[in-house]
Structure 1
C-alpha cells in the first residue's frame, strides 16, 4: 500500500504596502511642506523669506534682541534657591561638629531587641570620635563598633553619664546591652494562652 505524497512548493509571496503607517493610522498622508498648508498657491510666488511667510500667516513678529524680564527673574530666583540650599547643606554638615568627647546621646533600640516594657533609647556617652564616627560608651560597657551621627540623637539637658564611669574593657553589642539593662526579660515575656493555666 503505497501512498503518493505530493509536495507543493509555495512561491515566495511579496507583499507591498501601498499605505504608509501614518496613513493607516490617521487615514491620510502626512502634511509636509508649504504645499500642504491652507494658503493659496499665489502667495508662494510672492514669498521669499521666512519673515514674509510669518506676515502672511499673521504671526506676531519676534524681536530677538528684546530681553525677557520674566526669564531674568526666574534666573535670579533659581540662584537664590541654590544659595539657600548650599546654606542648608552647610548647616547640616556642621551640626555633627558640635559634639565632643563626653557628650551624652540617645541610641535608639530596634523593636526586635526590646520588650513591651523596655525603653526605646539607651543613654550613651561619646568615648572617641574617628572619621565622623562615634565610639559610644554605655553604663554596662562600650558599644561594639562605631555609630554615625544619623544613627543617634543628642540627649537634652546636663550630661548624666560620664566617660570615667564606663567599663572600657568590655565591648558589647546593642542587643547584649539592652538585655542587661531592661526591666523585664526583653522579648522573652512568657504568656500562657491555655485554658487550664500554666502548670510547672
Structure 2
C-alpha cells in the first residue's frame, strides 16, 4: 500500500486516500481531482483509473446533496500509480477529493476514507471494514472516515481514530467547515 502513496505532495488540494480491496486484500490508493471553472458553456469530465459514469453520478450527488456548484466546473479525476479502482467503497474518497479541489482546501495527509455514496447522499455500509481500517492504521494513518452503519467496538481497538459519517453533507461539514 505504501508504494502507491510515496509520491504524495503534502498540503496539496484535491487529493484523498482510499482503502480499497483488491480481491480480499486491502490496498491504499490516492485519488486526485482537479476542479476548475469551465471556459466554455459545457463542463468537461475526464477520468483515469476510475469509472467515468460513477464519477458523473458523484458529481451530481455533490451538487444536489452537498451544495457544491459543479455544473459550470470542469472535473479531472485520476487514481494515481496506474491502478484501477472500481468498487463502490471508493465513493467517499472521490467525493472528498472533488470537494477539496472545489474549496481549494487540503485534506490532512493522515486522513483516509471508505464508503459508498447513495443517490440521496447517504454513506452506505461496505464489506470487510475491519481489514480496511487495520490496513490504514498499519500504514500510519491517524484518522479514517467510515460509514456509520459499519461502526463496531472492535474498530476502536485498531490504533486509529474512526470517524463515522451518515451522509456526504456531514463528511463535508467535518472536513471543510
TM-score for both structures, normalised by structure 1 = 0.22
TM-score for both structures, normalised by structure 2 = 0.24
Structure with greater contact order relative to length (CA < 8 Å, sep ≥ 6): 2
Q: Which structure has the bigger radius of gyration?
A: 1
